[in-house]
């Protein structure tokens, strides 16, 4: 039996990115349905065919969304990169379809991504092979819609870890607010490496540090998911729409820190070689022995 369920391993979302709420590729109905599904809690399950009845709309005469409208909404979300589909085998050995809904679109403009598909993580270790075309009635009955906060790895994505090491300079991620999220930041950077310069990536990292610092001091709302927030910022940077707000302050902090470290190094004494250290040690031992001999001579 097909069902709609929540992935227990996924984080729970309490906020939604503006990129979803303002995505012009989606109708207002599709945006509303996406927000409704993403707002549901963990451990809920229902049959996929019951989706139209679950999405109640009291302003409509029938009190719920129709099948055709639900199919169109799902198709919109899939075409825009918010809904990715894959085929899986259930416990009884039957093959079924499931769709994973994410709050951040996994489709990056091809002109900026040089033909690469969207980025993200695999689900249960399997890449998502999206399928185009309309969702038929029989296919719709077998559909499993899964809410999953973590982005997906779609067909065509590649591992860019080697390219990043070759093409970009080391990033400065030394700000204290970034230290708990270094692994998440590295994962996101690795996926966007070929599309962004080192300066753009550093700018996004500085913006994240600034937002986290401002949130810690109560001057900005908190970030519920650093991964999804950073994915949205990187996508906007690829599209040329990213406008930094907190990054300049963090850049000044990094510059001041670097200058302070260089000043400390200049004031530090020059390190001696092993031979020089041994010679100095022998001289100190000889000086101590001479002092002892002098005191013993005075006592006699």
| Structural domain contains residue 258 | no
Res 185 pLDDT > 70? yes
Q: How confident is the model at residue 47 (pLDDT cuts 50, 70, 90)?
A: low
Question: In the prediction, which pLDDT does 194 show?
Answer: 72
What is the separation, in whole angstroms, between the first and last Cα of the chain? 104
* 9: pLDDT strictly greater than 50: no
pLDDT number for residue 258: 85
Q: Are both 111 and 55 inside the same structural domain?
A: yes
Answer whether residue 26 shows pLDDT above 90.
yes
Q: Does this model's pTM top 0.85? A: no
Co-location of 114 and 216 in the same domain: no
- Tokens of residue 205, six digits: 């990292």
Say yes or no: 204 and 234 in one domain. yes
User: Same domain for 115 and 173?
Assistant: no
Q: Are both 142 and 199 inside the same structural domain? A: no
If asked whether residues 136 and 85 sit together in one domain, one would say yes
pLDDT single digits (tens) 218-238 = 887 778 888 999 999 988 888
Minimum mean pLDDT among 19-28, 119-128, 272-281: which range? 119-128
88 with 172, same domain?
Answer: no
**Domain of residue 37, residue span:** 4-147
Rounded-to-10 torsion of CA 193, 150, 13, 67: 120
Residue 67 lies in a domain: yes
> Structure tokens of 167?
């093409």
Question: Is there a single domain that holds both residue 168 and residue 108?
Answer: no
The secondary structure element, H or E, covering residue 227 is helix 226-238
Question: What count of Cα atoms within 13 Å lies in the side-chain half-sphere of residue 253?
Answer: 16
Residue 250's pLDDT is 92
Q: Which of 11-20, 174-183, 287-296 has the highest mean pLDDT?
A: 174-183
Confidence of residue 34 (pLDDT cuts 50, 70, 90): confident
Q: Identify whether residues 233 and 293 lie together within a single domain.
A: no
State how many domains the chain has: 3
How far from 199 is each of 232, 255, 265, CA to CA, in Å?
17, 14, 26
The sign of the CA dihedral 250, 252, 255, 256 is negative
Are residues 138 and 70 both part of a single domain?
yes
Say if 152 falls within a structural domain. no
13 and 137 together in one domain: yes
Based on DSSP, count helices (H) and strands (E) in the chain, helices before strands: 12, 5
- The answer on 189 and 65 residing in a single domain is no
What is the token pair recorded at 20?
Answer: 């979803």
């Amino acid at each position: 039996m097909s069902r709609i369920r929540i992935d227990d391993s996924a984080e729970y979302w309490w906020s939604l990115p503006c990129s979803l709420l303002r995505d012009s590729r989606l109708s207002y109905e599709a945006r509303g349905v996406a927000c409704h599904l993403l707002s549901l809690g963990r451990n809920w399950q229902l049959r996929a065919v019951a989706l139209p009845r679950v999405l109640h709309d009291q302003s409509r005469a029938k009190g719920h969304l129709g099948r055709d409208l639900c199919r169109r909404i799902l198709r919109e979300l899939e075409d825009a990169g918010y809904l990715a589909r894959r085929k899986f085998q259930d416990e009884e050995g039957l093959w079924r379809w499931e769709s994973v809904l994410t709050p951040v679109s996994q489709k990056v403009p091809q002109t900026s991504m040089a033909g690469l598909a969207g980025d993200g993580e695999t689900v249960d270790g399997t890449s998502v092979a999206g399928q185009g075309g309309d969702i038929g009635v029989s296919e719709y009955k077998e559909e499993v819609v899964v809410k999953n906060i973590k982005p997906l790895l779609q067909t065509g994505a590649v591992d860019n870890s080697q390219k990043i090491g070759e093409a970009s300079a080391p990033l400065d991620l030394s700000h204290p607010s970034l230290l708990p999220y270094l692994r998440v930041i590295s994962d996101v950077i690795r996926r966007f490496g070929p599309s962004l310069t080192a300066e753009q990536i550093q700018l996004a990292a500085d913006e994240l540090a600034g937002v986290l610092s401002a949130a810690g001091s109560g001057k900005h709302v908190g970030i519920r998911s650093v991964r999804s927030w950073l994915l949205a910022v990187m996508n906007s940077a690829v599209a040329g729409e990213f406008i930094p707000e907190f990054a300049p302050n963090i850049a000044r902090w990094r510059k001041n820190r670097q200058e302070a470290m260089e000043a400390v190094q200049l004031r530090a004494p020059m390190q001696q070689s092993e031979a020089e250290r041994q010679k100095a040690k022998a001289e100190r031992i000889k000086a101590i022995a001479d002092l002892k001999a002098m005191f013993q001579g005075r006592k006699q």
